[in-house]
Structure 1
Amino acid sequence: MNILDKIVAHKKKEVAQLKSEVSINKLVKSPNFKRTPISLRKALTVKNSTGIIAEFKRQSPSKGIINDKVEVVDVTQGYLQANVAAQSILTDTHFFGGSVLDLMQARTVNETTPILRKDFIVDGFQIVEAKAIGADAILLIAACLTKQELKNYGKLAGDLGLEVLYEVHNKEELDKIELENKIIGINNRNLKTFKVDLEHSIKLAGQIPTSCIKVSESGLSNPAVIVGLKEYGFKGFLIGENFMKTEDPGLACQAFINQIR
């Protein structure tokens, strides 16, 4: 069983437990459920957008602890000052050390910039929960969902006013998605082995329709690479570890953005 299989198996048990404790009705009644989400698509395509989706991530299965000293509110404020296009927050607890509370706390100081709920979505319940905690967009990982699940979950998100970042790693996963007008993230990290290869973004870029927004994810630490990827039509760049491994992720993000302007 590879890392992704372990994560998905654990997530299914976790969500089943959560569904037995929290009702959909309770989620729908939460204050954040009434707010109008901020568009990730617009944030990535607006004139002079930095395209940077800066991530809050305490740990990962491949790296262990990355940064467990900083507070999500402080990092969020730093990212906003750096003028990020969007924010990504890992809400998986067991493998990544995050929680839905992280996203809720970030939302209290971030009213202007879209927040992506980064998690392993395996059930529609999590999408309703994403809306309830104040997310603007969700991640759907093609590697752990069927073609029908991708379609159904994408529709549910849309019905709730949430946008979707569809994550793929190869052509087979790309073929599971109805590609018109989607936000497509190409993960340079193989979720089964956790090895990083930037060539993934470039190889798959040409197979994604121009109606889609292209996002490159993982292993991005060099501003020059961002400039190069823009030439292949990429509008978004999801970066977490590169900022989070520093004492002040917001400051690191600012310095990075200054080099791609």
Structure 2
Amino acid sequence: MTILDKIIANKKLEVAQLRSEVQLEKLIKSPGFNRTPLSLKKSLTAVGSTGIIAEFKRQSPSKGIINDKVSVIDVTNGYLDAKVAAQSILTDKNYFGGTILDLMQARSVNETTPILRKDFIVDGFQIVEAKAIGADVILLIAACLTKEELKNYGKLAEDLGLDVLYEVHSKEELDKIADLDNKIIGINNRNLKTFEVDLEHSIELASQIPDSCIKVSESGISDPRIITGLKEYGFQGFLIGENFMKTENPGLACQEFVSQIR
């Protein structure tokens, strides 16, 4: 059993428990549910966009604790000062040390920039919850969903006004996504089964994605020069977390990084 298998098995139990405790109707009636989500597509393609999706991540299964000292509000303000295109908030507790409160706190100080709920979506309930807590974008990981689930969850998110970042790591996973046209496709440079990072693999896979898609490179980006190189292969978004979070001041680290790619 891979780490991903364990995470998904755990997540299904977690969501089943949540569904027994929280009524869907309660989420739909919550104040945040009526908010109009911000567009990740527009943010990534805007003239002068940094393309950076800066992540708040306390820990990971491969690295352990990355940074458990900084507050999500301070980091969010720092990222906003860096003019990021979007921010990503980990809401998985067991493996990444996050909670939905992190996203809600970030939203309380961020009214201008899209927020991605970074989690392992295995149930439509989580998508409704994402809207209720103030997310603008959800992540659908092709490695842990069927073709039918990717289609249905994508449609639900769309109906709720949320953007979807479809994450793939191989041609087989890419083929699971129905009608790629105009979708946001994230290529994870980290293999979720082995946790090894390979940027060359992403570049090869990028050539098989239609030009109508917005391509996002995820994980393992630690040098501003990598961004310049990836742009040549059509990437418009760059999800970076650990590189900023491993510093004492992630917001400042992000500002310095962005200043070197402009």
Quickly name the TM-score band, shorter chain normalised.
over 0.9
Query: Which secondary structure does the structure 1 equivalent of 2:260 belong to?
Result: helix
The whole-number CA distance in structure 1 between the counterparts of 2:94 and 2:48 is 37
- The CA deviation string for residues 73-104 of structure 1, in whole angstroms up to 9 with x for no partner, is 00000000000000000000000000000000
The whole-number CA distance in structure 1 between the counterparts of 2:62 and 2:200 is 20
Partner in structure 1 of residue 243 of structure 2:
242
CA contact (8 A) 1:187 1:200 kept: no
1:210 aligns with 2:211: yes
1:20 aligns with 2:30: no
What is the percent sequence identity of the aligned residues? Answer: 81
Partner in structure 2 of residue 226 of structure 1:
227
List structure 1 runs of 4+ shifted beyond 3 angstroms: none
The whole-number CA distance in structure 1 between the counterparts of 2:202 and 2:71 is 31
Partner in structure 2 of residue 130 of structure 1:
130
Query: Which secondary structure does the structure 2 equivalent of 1:88 belong to?
Result: strand
Structure 1 counterpart of 2:195, one-letter code: F
1:82 aligns with 2:82: yes
Partner in structure 2 of residue 59 of structure 1:
59
Partner in structure 2 of residue 94 of structure 1:
94
Query: Which secondary structure does the structure 2 equivalent of 1:158 belong to?
Result: helix
The whole-number CA distance in structure 2 between the counterparts of 1:23 and 1:142 is 27
**Pairwise CA distance, 1:151:** 0.2
**Pairwise CA distance, 1:33:** 0.3
Query: Which secondary structure does the structure 1 equivalent of 2:156 belong to?
Result: helix
Query: Which secondary structure does the structure 1 equivalent of 2:38 belong to?
Result: coil
**Pairwise CA distance, 1:176:** 0.4
User: Which structure 1 segments of 5+ residues have no match?
Assistant: none
Partner in structure 2 of residue 111 of structure 1:
111
Partner in structure 1 of residue 31 of structure 2:
31
How many residues are aligned here? 261
Query: Which secondary structure does the structure 2 equivalent of 1:155 belong to?
Result: helix
Partner in structure 2 of residue 186 of structure 1:
187
Please give the TM-score of this superposition, normalised by the length of structure 2.
Answer: 0.99
The two structures, once aligned, show a CA RMSD in angstroms of 0.4
The whole-number CA distance in structure 2 between the counterparts of 1:97 and 1:247 is 18
**Pairwise CA distance, 1:133:** 0.3
Partner in structure 2 of residue 49 of structure 1:
49
The whole-number CA distance in structure 1 between the counterparts of 2:201 and 2:141 is 16
- The CA deviation string for residues 88-141 of structure 1, in whole angstroms up to 9 with x for no partner, is 000000000000000000000000000000000000000000000000000000
Query: Which secondary structure does the structure 1 equivalent of 2:167 belong to?
Result: strand
Structure 1 counterpart of 2:37, one-letter code: P
**Pairwise CA distance, 1:201:** 1.6
The whole-number CA distance in structure 2 between the counterparts of 1:245 and 1:120 is 23
**Pairwise CA distance, 1:16:** 0.1
- The CA deviation string for residues 139-162 of structure 1, in whole angstroms up to 9 with x for no partner, is 000000000000000000000000
The whole-number CA distance in structure 2 between the counterparts of 1:41 and 1:201 is 20
**Pairwise CA distance, 1:200:** 2.0
**Pairwise CA distance, 1:208:** 0.4
Structure 1 counterpart of 2:58, one-letter code: R
CA contact (8 A) 1:58 1:98 kept: yes
CA contact (8 A) 1:165 1:184 kept: yes
The whole-number CA distance in structure 2 between the counterparts of 1:47 and 1:200 is 28
Query: Which secondary structure does the structure 1 equivalent of 2:140 belong to?
Result: strand
Partner in structure 1 of residue 72 of structure 2:
72
Please give the TM-score of this superposition, normalised by the length of structure 1.
Answer: 1.00
